[in-house]
Structure 1
Amino acid sequence: MTGPAADLATLQDATDHFLAAIEALGDGDVAAPSHLPGWTRGHVLAHLARNADALDNVLHRRPMYASEAARNGDIERDANRPAAVHRADVRDSAARLARTAAQLTGTDWQVTVTLRNGVTDSLDNIPFRRLTEIELHHIDLGIGRTVADLPGAFLDRSLESLARRFAGHPALPPLELRAEDGRHWRTGGESGENDGNGERQVVVGTPASLVGWLTGRTSGSGLTTAGSLPAPPPL
Protein backbone atom coordinates (compact mmCIF):
# COMPACT_ATOMS: atom_id res chain seq x y z
CA MET A 1 0.00 0.00 0.00
CA THR A 2 1.59 3.31 -1.07
CA GLY A 3 0.80 6.97 -1.61
CA PRO A 4 -2.56 8.32 -0.51
CA ALA A 5 -3.91 4.81 0.12
CA ALA A 6 -1.44 4.38 2.98
CA ASP A 7 -2.18 7.88 4.27
CA LEU A 8 -5.92 7.23 4.12
CA ALA A 9 -5.52 4.07 6.19
CA THR A 10 -3.44 5.94 8.78
CA LEU A 11 -5.98 8.75 8.79
CA GLN A 12 -8.83 6.32 9.47
CA ASP A 13 -6.92 4.82 12.41
CA ALA A 14 -6.22 8.28 13.87
CA THR A 15 -9.85 9.33 13.37
CA ASP A 16 -11.11 6.20 15.13
CA HIS A 17 -8.72 6.84 18.02
CA PHE A 18 -9.87 10.45 18.24
CA LEU A 19 -13.55 9.49 18.23
CA ALA A 20 -12.94 6.97 21.00
CA ALA A 21 -11.10 9.61 23.04
CA ILE A 22 -13.99 12.12 22.91
CA GLU A 23 -16.68 9.54 23.63
CA ALA A 24 -16.66 10.25 27.37
CA LEU A 25 -16.83 14.05 27.07
CA GLY A 26 -19.95 15.60 28.55
CA ASP A 27 -21.54 18.96 27.83
CA GLY A 28 -19.51 20.66 30.54
CA ASP A 29 -16.28 19.17 29.23
CA VAL A 30 -17.00 20.44 25.72
CA ALA A 31 -17.74 23.93 27.02
CA ALA A 32 -14.43 24.09 28.93
CA PRO A 33 -11.38 25.90 27.53
CA SER A 34 -9.05 24.06 25.17
CA HIS A 35 -5.32 24.66 24.89
CA LEU A 36 -5.96 27.10 22.03
CA PRO A 37 -6.37 30.71 23.22
CA GLY A 38 -9.98 31.87 23.04
CA TRP A 39 -11.31 28.48 21.98
CA THR A 40 -13.32 25.99 24.00
CA ARG A 41 -13.14 22.30 23.26
CA GLY A 42 -16.38 22.86 21.36
CA HIS A 43 -14.57 25.27 19.04
CA VAL A 44 -11.91 22.63 18.35
CA LEU A 45 -14.51 19.97 17.62
CA ALA A 46 -16.52 22.32 15.40
CA HIS A 47 -13.38 23.25 13.50
CA LEU A 48 -12.47 19.60 12.90
CA ALA A 49 -15.93 18.84 11.54
CA ARG A 50 -16.00 21.86 9.25
CA ASN A 51 -12.41 21.15 8.16
CA ALA A 52 -13.50 17.69 7.00
CA ASP A 53 -16.25 19.30 4.93
CA ALA A 54 -13.77 21.84 3.57
CA LEU A 55 -11.34 19.14 2.48
CA ASP A 56 -14.25 17.22 0.97
CA ASN A 57 -14.87 20.36 -1.11
CA VAL A 58 -11.24 20.25 -2.22
CA LEU A 59 -11.53 16.61 -3.29
CA HIS A 60 -14.53 17.66 -5.39
CA ARG A 61 -12.40 20.51 -6.89
CA ARG A 62 -14.51 23.16 -5.15
CA PRO A 63 -13.23 26.10 -3.07
CA MET A 64 -12.24 24.98 0.41
CA TYR A 65 -14.35 27.67 2.15
CA ALA A 66 -16.79 30.21 0.78
CA SER A 67 -14.71 32.87 2.56
CA GLU A 68 -12.59 33.33 5.66
CA ALA A 69 -15.55 35.03 7.35
CA ALA A 70 -17.78 32.08 6.52
CA ARG A 71 -15.21 29.65 7.93
CA ASN A 72 -14.92 31.54 11.20
CA GLY A 73 -18.67 32.05 11.42
CA ASP A 74 -19.37 28.34 10.99
CA ILE A 75 -17.00 27.47 13.84
CA GLU A 76 -18.60 30.04 16.16
CA ARG A 77 -22.07 28.86 15.18
CA ASP A 78 -21.31 25.24 16.00
CA ALA A 79 -19.04 25.63 19.03
CA ASN A 80 -21.71 25.68 21.75
CA ARG A 81 -23.59 22.51 20.84
CA PRO A 82 -24.08 19.53 23.18
CA ALA A 83 -21.29 16.96 23.33
CA ALA A 84 -23.36 14.27 21.59
CA VAL A 85 -24.03 16.58 18.64
CA HIS A 86 -20.33 17.38 18.36
CA ARG A 87 -19.41 13.70 18.36
CA ALA A 88 -21.94 12.89 15.66
CA ASP A 89 -20.79 15.82 13.53
CA VAL A 90 -17.10 14.91 13.77
CA ARG A 91 -17.90 11.26 12.98
CA ASP A 92 -20.27 11.98 10.08
CA SER A 93 -18.14 14.67 8.45
CA ALA A 94 -15.09 12.39 8.63
CA ALA A 95 -17.11 9.60 7.04
CA ARG A 96 -18.21 11.88 4.19
CA LEU A 97 -14.59 12.80 3.51
CA ALA A 98 -13.55 9.15 3.57
CA ARG A 99 -16.30 8.17 1.12
CA THR A 100 -15.23 10.85 -1.34
CA ALA A 101 -11.57 9.86 -1.04
CA ALA A 102 -12.45 6.21 -1.68
CA GLN A 103 -13.93 7.18 -5.05
CA LEU A 104 -10.65 8.69 -6.31
CA THR A 105 -8.16 6.50 -8.12
CA GLY A 106 -4.88 6.78 -10.00
CA THR A 107 -4.43 10.11 -11.73
CA ASP A 108 -7.37 11.64 -9.83
CA TRP A 109 -4.88 12.35 -7.06
CA GLN A 110 -2.20 13.86 -9.30
CA VAL A 111 -3.59 17.37 -9.62
CA THR A 112 -2.71 20.64 -7.91
CA VAL A 113 -5.45 22.22 -5.84
CA THR A 114 -5.86 25.53 -4.04
CA LEU A 115 -6.42 25.48 -0.30
CA ARG A 116 -7.00 28.19 2.29
CA ASN A 117 -5.22 31.54 1.90
CA GLY A 118 -4.15 30.68 -1.65
CA VAL A 119 -1.88 27.82 -0.60
CA THR A 120 -1.53 25.17 -3.31
CA ASP A 121 -0.72 21.50 -2.93
CA SER A 122 -1.01 18.18 -4.70
CA LEU A 123 -4.32 16.45 -4.04
CA ASP A 124 -2.53 13.33 -2.82
CA ASN A 125 -1.21 15.33 0.16
CA ILE A 126 -4.73 16.08 1.43
CA PRO A 127 -5.00 12.90 3.55
CA PHE A 128 -1.82 13.85 5.43
CA ARG A 129 -3.07 17.39 5.89
CA ARG A 130 -6.23 15.99 7.47
CA LEU A 131 -4.15 13.63 9.62
CA THR A 132 -2.21 16.63 10.90
CA GLU A 133 -5.47 18.36 11.86
CA ILE A 134 -6.62 15.28 13.78
CA GLU A 135 -3.33 14.67 15.58
CA LEU A 136 -2.62 18.27 16.62
CA HIS A 137 -6.16 19.15 17.62
CA HIS A 138 -6.38 15.97 19.67
CA ILE A 139 -3.60 17.51 21.74
CA ASP A 140 -5.37 20.88 21.81
CA LEU A 141 -8.43 19.36 23.51
CA GLY A 142 -6.38 18.94 26.67
CA ILE A 143 -7.72 15.48 27.48
CA GLY A 144 -4.40 13.74 28.09
CA ARG A 145 -2.66 13.46 24.72
CA THR A 146 0.66 15.26 24.24
CA VAL A 147 3.25 15.57 21.49
CA ALA A 148 5.13 12.71 23.14
CA ASP A 149 2.22 10.43 22.17
CA LEU A 150 2.40 11.22 18.45
CA PRO A 151 3.49 8.29 16.25
CA GLY A 152 7.11 8.32 15.13
CA ALA A 153 6.24 8.09 11.43
CA PHE A 154 3.93 11.10 11.77
CA LEU A 155 6.60 13.12 13.59
CA ASP A 156 9.24 12.37 10.94
CA ARG A 157 6.95 13.39 8.10
CA SER A 158 5.78 16.46 9.98
CA LEU A 159 9.35 17.64 10.40
CA GLU A 160 9.94 17.38 6.68
CA SER A 161 6.67 19.18 5.96
CA LEU A 162 7.28 21.95 8.50
CA ALA A 163 10.84 22.49 7.25
CA ARG A 164 9.47 23.01 3.73
CA ARG A 165 6.67 25.23 4.98
CA PHE A 166 8.97 27.59 6.88
CA ALA A 167 11.82 27.58 4.34
CA GLY A 168 12.63 31.19 3.47
CA HIS A 169 10.12 32.52 6.00
CA PRO A 170 11.12 36.07 6.98
CA ALA A 171 9.82 35.66 10.55
CA LEU A 172 12.46 33.01 11.31
CA PRO A 173 16.26 33.16 11.30
CA PRO A 174 18.13 30.58 9.23
CA LEU A 175 17.72 27.32 11.13
CA GLU A 176 19.12 23.82 11.10
CA LEU A 177 16.91 21.35 12.93
CA ARG A 178 18.74 18.31 14.24
CA ALA A 179 17.20 15.17 15.66
CA GLU A 180 19.21 13.40 18.31
CA ASP A 181 19.82 10.49 15.91
CA GLY A 182 21.72 12.79 13.53
CA ARG A 183 19.05 13.59 10.96
CA HIS A 184 18.75 17.26 10.07
CA TRP A 185 16.52 19.68 8.17
CA ARG A 186 17.20 23.23 7.02
CA THR A 187 14.52 25.88 7.22
CA GLY A 188 13.87 29.50 8.16
CA GLY A 189 15.12 32.65 6.48
CA GLU A 190 17.92 32.96 3.99
CA SER A 191 21.41 32.60 5.44
CA GLY A 192 23.63 33.98 2.69
CA GLU A 193 25.17 30.53 2.29
CA ASN A 194 25.71 31.08 -1.43
CA ASP A 195 28.41 33.63 -0.71
CA GLY A 196 30.08 31.45 1.94
CA ASN A 197 29.22 33.74 4.87
CA GLY A 198 25.95 32.23 6.01
CA GLU A 199 25.36 30.63 9.40
CA ARG A 200 22.36 28.80 10.74
CA GLN A 201 21.10 28.57 14.28
CA VAL A 202 21.17 24.89 15.22
CA VAL A 203 18.24 23.53 17.24
CA VAL A 204 18.63 20.00 18.61
CA GLY A 205 16.07 17.68 20.16
CA THR A 206 13.79 14.73 19.69
CA PRO A 207 11.37 14.79 16.75
CA ALA A 208 8.52 15.21 19.28
CA SER A 209 10.20 18.24 20.87
CA LEU A 210 10.95 19.80 17.48
CA VAL A 211 7.40 19.27 16.17
CA GLY A 212 5.89 20.50 19.44
CA TRP A 213 7.85 23.74 19.20
CA LEU A 214 7.37 24.31 15.45
CA THR A 215 3.60 23.79 15.71
CA GLY A 216 3.23 25.99 18.78
CA ARG A 217 2.12 23.07 20.97
CA THR A 218 5.08 23.47 23.34
CA SER A 219 7.37 26.31 24.34
CA GLY A 220 10.41 24.40 23.09
CA SER A 221 11.14 22.46 26.26
CA GLY A 222 13.64 19.67 25.65
CA LEU A 223 15.42 21.54 22.86
CA THR A 224 18.96 22.90 22.97
CA THR A 225 20.34 25.80 20.95
CA ALA A 226 22.80 28.65 21.18
CA GLY A 227 20.86 31.70 22.28
CA SER A 228 17.09 31.93 22.54
CA LEU A 229 14.57 29.96 20.51
CA PRO A 230 12.66 32.05 17.97
CA ALA A 231 8.86 31.95 17.97
CA PRO A 232 7.66 29.96 14.95
CA PRO A 233 4.99 31.66 12.77
CA PRO A 234 1.40 30.49 13.19
CA LEU A 235 0.39 27.53 11.06
Structure 2
Amino acid sequence: MTDISNAQLLERLTAAAENVSAKLGALTDSDVLDPTDLPGWTRGHVLAHIAHVSTAVARQAEYALRGELVDFYDGGPGGRTQAIEMNAGHTAAEHRDYIATAFTRALTVLGGLEESQWELPVSYRNSDIRGVALAYWRELVIHLADLQLGRGPETWSKEFCLYLIGFLRPRVPEPLQLKLLPLALPPMTVGSGESTVSVSGMLTDIAAWLSGRTPSMGSLRAEAAADSVELPTLLPWPSAFAAK
Protein backbone atom coordinates (compact mmCIF):
# COMPACT_ATOMS: atom_id res chain seq x y z
CA MET A 1 0.00 0.00 0.00
CA THR A 2 1.09 3.57 -0.42
CA ASP A 3 1.24 6.24 2.27
CA ILE A 4 -0.09 9.09 0.12
CA SER A 5 -3.22 10.71 1.50
CA ASN A 6 -6.62 10.41 -0.11
CA ALA A 7 -6.40 14.02 -1.26
CA GLN A 8 -3.01 13.33 -2.84
CA LEU A 9 -4.37 10.20 -4.50
CA LEU A 10 -7.17 12.25 -6.04
CA GLU A 11 -4.54 14.72 -7.33
CA ARG A 12 -2.57 11.85 -8.89
CA LEU A 13 -5.71 10.50 -10.55
CA THR A 14 -6.65 13.91 -11.92
CA ALA A 15 -3.15 14.39 -13.33
CA ALA A 16 -3.16 10.90 -14.87
CA ALA A 17 -6.52 11.53 -16.54
CA GLU A 18 -5.28 14.87 -17.85
CA ASN A 19 -2.18 13.19 -19.28
CA VAL A 20 -4.33 10.65 -21.13
CA SER A 21 -6.66 13.35 -22.43
CA ALA A 22 -3.76 15.50 -23.64
CA LYS A 23 -2.27 12.63 -25.62
CA LEU A 24 -5.60 11.86 -27.29
CA GLY A 25 -6.00 15.34 -28.73
CA ALA A 26 -4.12 14.68 -31.97
CA LEU A 27 -5.12 11.03 -32.35
CA THR A 28 -6.46 10.11 -35.80
CA ASP A 29 -8.80 7.31 -36.84
CA SER A 30 -5.81 5.54 -38.37
CA ASP A 31 -3.86 5.83 -35.10
CA VAL A 32 -6.69 4.07 -33.27
CA LEU A 33 -6.22 0.98 -35.43
CA ASP A 34 -2.47 0.66 -34.77
CA PRO A 35 -1.41 -2.45 -32.82
CA THR A 36 0.09 -2.21 -29.35
CA ASP A 37 2.44 -4.50 -27.47
CA LEU A 38 -0.57 -6.07 -25.73
CA PRO A 39 -1.32 -9.27 -27.68
CA GLY A 40 -4.33 -8.85 -29.95
CA TRP A 41 -5.03 -5.31 -28.81
CA THR A 42 -5.01 -2.17 -30.94
CA ARG A 43 -4.91 1.33 -29.48
CA GLY A 44 -8.68 1.22 -29.79
CA HIS A 45 -8.83 -1.74 -27.42
CA VAL A 46 -6.67 0.09 -24.86
CA LEU A 47 -8.80 3.23 -25.19
CA ALA A 48 -12.01 1.24 -24.76
CA HIS A 49 -10.51 -0.43 -21.69
CA ILE A 50 -9.51 2.91 -20.15
CA ALA A 51 -13.06 4.20 -20.56
CA HIS A 52 -14.59 0.97 -19.29
CA VAL A 53 -12.33 0.90 -16.21
CA SER A 54 -13.25 4.51 -15.45
CA THR A 55 -16.94 3.67 -15.58
CA ALA A 56 -16.39 0.59 -13.42
CA VAL A 57 -14.54 2.62 -10.77
CA ALA A 58 -17.36 5.16 -10.72
CA ARG A 59 -19.93 2.36 -10.27
CA GLN A 60 -18.00 0.88 -7.35
CA ALA A 61 -17.98 4.22 -5.53
CA GLU A 62 -21.58 5.13 -6.42
CA TYR A 63 -22.92 1.83 -5.11
CA ALA A 64 -20.69 1.98 -2.03
CA LEU A 65 -22.16 5.37 -1.15
CA ARG A 66 -25.60 3.72 -1.17
CA GLY A 67 -24.38 0.89 1.03
CA GLU A 68 -24.45 -1.63 -1.82
CA LEU A 69 -21.92 -3.88 -3.53
CA VAL A 70 -21.82 -4.45 -7.28
CA ASP A 71 -19.58 -6.44 -9.62
CA PHE A 72 -16.62 -4.41 -10.81
CA TYR A 73 -17.65 -4.81 -14.44
CA ASP A 74 -21.26 -4.66 -15.54
CA GLY A 75 -21.80 -8.22 -16.74
CA GLY A 76 -18.65 -9.56 -15.08
CA PRO A 77 -15.56 -10.64 -17.05
CA GLY A 78 -17.69 -11.47 -20.07
CA GLY A 79 -19.21 -8.02 -20.01
CA ARG A 80 -15.73 -6.51 -19.82
CA THR A 81 -14.54 -8.38 -22.91
CA GLN A 82 -17.70 -7.64 -24.86
CA ALA A 83 -17.61 -3.91 -24.07
CA ILE A 84 -13.96 -3.61 -25.12
CA GLU A 85 -14.52 -5.44 -28.40
CA MET A 86 -17.65 -3.43 -29.18
CA ASN A 87 -15.96 -0.08 -28.61
CA ALA A 88 -12.43 -0.76 -29.88
CA GLY A 89 -13.32 0.21 -33.45
CA HIS A 90 -14.75 3.62 -32.60
CA THR A 91 -13.39 6.70 -34.31
CA ALA A 92 -10.80 8.83 -32.53
CA ALA A 93 -13.45 11.46 -31.78
CA GLU A 94 -15.79 8.84 -30.31
CA HIS A 95 -13.01 7.50 -28.09
CA ARG A 96 -12.19 11.02 -26.89
CA ASP A 97 -15.84 11.72 -26.04
CA TYR A 98 -16.36 8.35 -24.35
CA ILE A 99 -13.22 8.68 -22.24
CA ALA A 100 -13.96 12.31 -21.31
CA THR A 101 -17.41 11.33 -20.08
CA ALA A 102 -16.04 8.36 -18.12
CA PHE A 103 -13.25 10.45 -16.57
CA THR A 104 -15.75 13.09 -15.46
CA ARG A 105 -18.01 10.50 -13.88
CA ALA A 106 -15.21 8.74 -11.99
CA LEU A 107 -13.38 11.87 -10.80
CA THR A 108 -16.60 13.61 -9.81
CA VAL A 109 -17.71 10.84 -7.47
CA LEU A 110 -14.22 10.37 -6.02
CA GLY A 111 -13.75 14.11 -5.66
CA GLY A 112 -16.99 14.41 -3.70
CA LEU A 113 -16.04 11.86 -1.04
CA GLU A 114 -15.74 12.79 2.60
CA GLU A 115 -12.63 11.45 4.31
CA SER A 116 -14.45 8.61 6.05
CA GLN A 117 -16.18 7.53 2.83
CA TRP A 118 -12.90 6.41 1.25
CA GLU A 119 -13.14 3.43 3.60
CA LEU A 120 -16.56 2.29 2.42
CA PRO A 121 -16.46 -1.35 1.24
CA VAL A 122 -16.56 -2.30 -2.44
CA SER A 123 -16.65 -5.66 -4.19
CA TYR A 124 -13.31 -5.14 -5.96
CA ARG A 125 -10.82 -7.39 -4.14
CA ASN A 126 -13.10 -7.14 -1.06
CA SER A 127 -11.49 -3.75 -0.54
CA ASP A 128 -12.70 -0.18 -0.07
CA ILE A 129 -13.07 2.88 -2.28
CA ARG A 130 -9.45 3.85 -1.63
CA GLY A 131 -8.34 0.43 -2.85
CA VAL A 132 -10.25 0.74 -6.08
CA ALA A 133 -8.93 4.30 -6.56
CA LEU A 134 -5.36 3.02 -6.23
CA ALA A 135 -6.14 0.39 -8.85
CA TYR A 136 -7.51 3.16 -11.08
CA TRP A 137 -4.22 5.05 -10.70
CA ARG A 138 -2.30 1.98 -11.82
CA GLU A 139 -4.57 1.46 -14.80
CA LEU A 140 -4.39 5.04 -16.05
CA VAL A 141 -0.62 5.39 -15.78
CA ILE A 142 0.27 1.97 -17.18
CA HIS A 143 -2.24 1.99 -20.03
CA LEU A 144 -1.15 5.46 -21.11
CA ALA A 145 2.28 3.89 -21.63
CA ASP A 146 0.63 1.04 -23.57
CA LEU A 147 -0.82 3.58 -26.03
CA GLN A 148 2.75 4.38 -27.17
CA LEU A 149 2.04 8.07 -27.55
CA GLY A 150 5.21 9.43 -25.98
CA ARG A 151 4.55 8.76 -22.28
CA GLY A 152 6.22 5.43 -21.70
CA PRO A 153 7.50 3.93 -18.44
CA GLU A 154 10.49 6.29 -18.52
CA THR A 155 8.06 9.07 -17.51
CA TRP A 156 6.73 7.24 -14.44
CA SER A 157 7.41 9.08 -11.20
CA LYS A 158 9.58 7.67 -8.44
CA GLU A 159 6.50 7.65 -6.20
CA PHE A 160 4.50 5.61 -8.71
CA CYS A 161 7.35 3.18 -9.39
CA LEU A 162 7.92 2.47 -5.70
CA TYR A 163 4.20 1.96 -5.16
CA LEU A 164 3.97 -0.33 -8.19
CA ILE A 165 6.94 -2.44 -7.08
CA GLY A 166 5.29 -2.94 -3.71
CA PHE A 167 2.00 -3.93 -5.31
CA LEU A 168 3.70 -6.37 -7.67
CA ARG A 169 5.59 -8.30 -4.99
CA PRO A 170 3.28 -11.33 -5.49
CA ARG A 171 4.63 -11.72 -9.05
CA VAL A 172 7.92 -13.06 -7.66
CA PRO A 173 7.78 -16.90 -7.76
CA GLU A 174 8.19 -18.73 -4.45
CA PRO A 175 11.73 -20.09 -5.01
CA LEU A 176 13.08 -16.61 -5.70
CA GLN A 177 14.06 -13.53 -3.82
CA LEU A 178 14.72 -10.49 -6.00
CA LYS A 179 17.26 -7.96 -4.84
CA LEU A 180 16.37 -4.81 -6.76
CA LEU A 181 19.20 -2.33 -7.25
CA PRO A 182 17.76 0.85 -8.78
CA LEU A 183 20.44 3.32 -9.81
CA ALA A 184 21.13 6.04 -7.22
CA LEU A 185 18.52 4.59 -4.84
CA PRO A 186 18.67 2.19 -1.88
CA PRO A 187 18.31 -1.53 -2.69
CA MET A 188 14.97 -3.27 -2.20
CA THR A 189 14.13 -6.92 -1.67
CA VAL A 190 10.94 -8.53 -2.95
CA GLY A 191 10.00 -12.17 -2.55
CA SER A 192 10.92 -14.59 0.23
CA GLY A 193 12.59 -17.46 -1.59
CA GLU A 194 16.05 -18.86 -0.89
CA SER A 195 17.40 -18.32 -4.41
CA THR A 196 18.50 -14.71 -4.91
CA VAL A 197 18.66 -12.88 -8.22
CA SER A 198 19.85 -9.28 -8.33
CA VAL A 199 18.25 -6.94 -10.87
CA SER A 200 19.94 -3.60 -11.44
CA GLY A 201 19.02 -0.65 -13.61
CA MET A 202 16.85 2.45 -13.75
CA LEU A 203 13.96 2.45 -11.31
CA THR A 204 11.51 3.02 -14.16
CA ASP A 205 12.90 0.02 -16.04
CA ILE A 206 12.55 -2.21 -12.98
CA ALA A 207 8.94 -1.10 -12.50
CA ALA A 208 8.19 -1.58 -16.20
CA TRP A 209 9.62 -5.11 -16.20
CA LEU A 210 7.70 -6.10 -13.07
CA SER A 211 4.50 -4.79 -14.70
CA GLY A 212 5.08 -6.85 -17.83
CA ARG A 213 6.05 -3.87 -19.97
CA THR A 214 9.17 -3.28 -22.04
CA PRO A 215 11.78 -1.21 -20.18
CA SER A 216 12.28 2.03 -22.08
CA MET A 217 15.85 2.75 -21.07
CA GLY A 218 17.18 -0.78 -21.61
CA SER A 219 19.30 -0.70 -18.48
CA LEU A 220 18.31 -3.91 -16.70
CA ARG A 221 20.90 -6.48 -15.71
CA ALA A 222 20.28 -9.69 -13.78
CA GLU A 223 22.88 -11.60 -11.78
CA ALA A 224 22.90 -14.72 -9.61
CA ALA A 225 25.98 -15.76 -7.65
CA ALA A 226 27.98 -13.06 -9.50
CA ASP A 227 27.07 -14.50 -12.92
CA SER A 228 24.89 -12.79 -15.51
CA VAL A 229 21.53 -14.54 -15.96
CA GLU A 230 18.29 -13.99 -17.81
CA LEU A 231 15.61 -11.94 -16.10
CA PRO A 232 13.37 -14.35 -14.14
CA THR A 233 9.93 -15.35 -15.38
CA LEU A 234 7.30 -13.71 -13.20
CA LEU A 235 3.91 -14.92 -12.01
CA PRO A 236 0.65 -13.35 -13.29
CA TRP A 237 -0.54 -9.96 -12.13
CA PRO A 238 -2.00 -9.91 -8.58
CA SER A 239 -5.04 -8.04 -9.81
CA ALA A 240 -8.75 -8.65 -10.11
CA PHE A 241 -8.67 -6.75 -13.38
CA ALA A 242 -5.70 -6.28 -15.67
CA ALA A 243 -5.47 -5.72 -19.40
CA LYS A 244 -3.43 -8.67 -20.62
Same fold (TM over 0.5): yes
Q: Map residues 148-187 of structure 1 onto 2, 5 A cutoff.
A: 148-163=154-169, 165-166=170-171, 169-170=173-174, 173-187=176-190
CA separation in 2, counterparts of 1:127 and 1:32? Answer: 29
SS of 1:202 mapped into structure 2: strand
Check conservation: 1:56, 1:100, Cα contact below 8 A. yes
Which residue matches 1:24? 26
Letter of the aligned partner of 1:131 in structure 2? W
Which residue matches 1:77? 86
CA separation in 2, counterparts of 1:39 and 1:54? Answer: 20
Letter of the aligned partner of 1:225 in structure 2? A
Moved over 4 A (4+): none
Check conservation: 1:177, 1:203, Cα contact below 8 A. yes
Gaps (5+ residues) in structure 1? 192-197
CA separation in 2, counterparts of 1:18 and 1:153? Answer: 19
Q: CA deviation at 1:53?
A: 0.9
Q: CA deviation at 1:35?
A: 2.3
Q: State which of 213, 223, 231 in structure 1 corresponds to 2:220.
A: 223
- What are the Cα deviations for residues 140-188 of structure 1, in whole angstroms up to 9, with x where unaligned? 112222211122222222222222x436x44x72222222234233323
Q: Map residues 199-218 of structure 1 onto 2, 5 A cutoff.
A: 199-218=195-214
Q: CA deviation at 1:25?
A: 0.7
Which residue matches 2:242? none
CA separation in 1, counterparts of 2:120 and 2:14? Answer: 23
Q: CA RMSD in A?
A: 2.0
Gaps (5+ residues) in structure 2? 65-69, 224-228, 238-244
Name the count of aligned residue pairs.
Answer: 221
Change (3 A) 1:122 1:24: same
Check conservation: 1:4, 1:125, Cα contact below 8 A. no
Q: Percent same amino acid among aligned pairs?
A: 27
Change (3 A) 1:72 1:53: same
SS of 2:176 mapped into structure 1: coil
Check conservation: 2:171, 2:236, Cα contact below 8 A. no
Q: CA deviation at 1:55?
A: 1.1
Which residue matches 1:125? 131
CA separation in 2, counterparts of 1:28 and 1:203? Answer: 39
Check conservation: 1:58, 1:113, Cα contact below 8 A. yes
Q: CA deviation at 1:112?
A: 4.4
Q: State which of 99, 105, 109 in structure 2 corresponds to 1:96.
A: 105
Check conservation: 1:4, 1:127, Cα contact below 8 A. no
Q: State which of 9, 12, 18 in structure 1 corresponds to 2:11.
A: 9
TM-score for both structures, normalised by structure 2: 0.82
Higher RCO structure (Cα 8 Å, ≥6 apart): 2
CA separation in 2, counterparts of 1:121 and 1:179? Answer: 31
Q: State which of 38, 41, 52 in structure 2 corresponds to 1:50.
A: 52
TM-score for both structures, normalised by structure 1: 0.85
Change (3 A) 1:208 1:219: closer
CA separation in 1, counterparts of 2:111 and 2:197? Answer: 43
Check conservation: 2:205, 2:215, Cα contact below 8 A. no
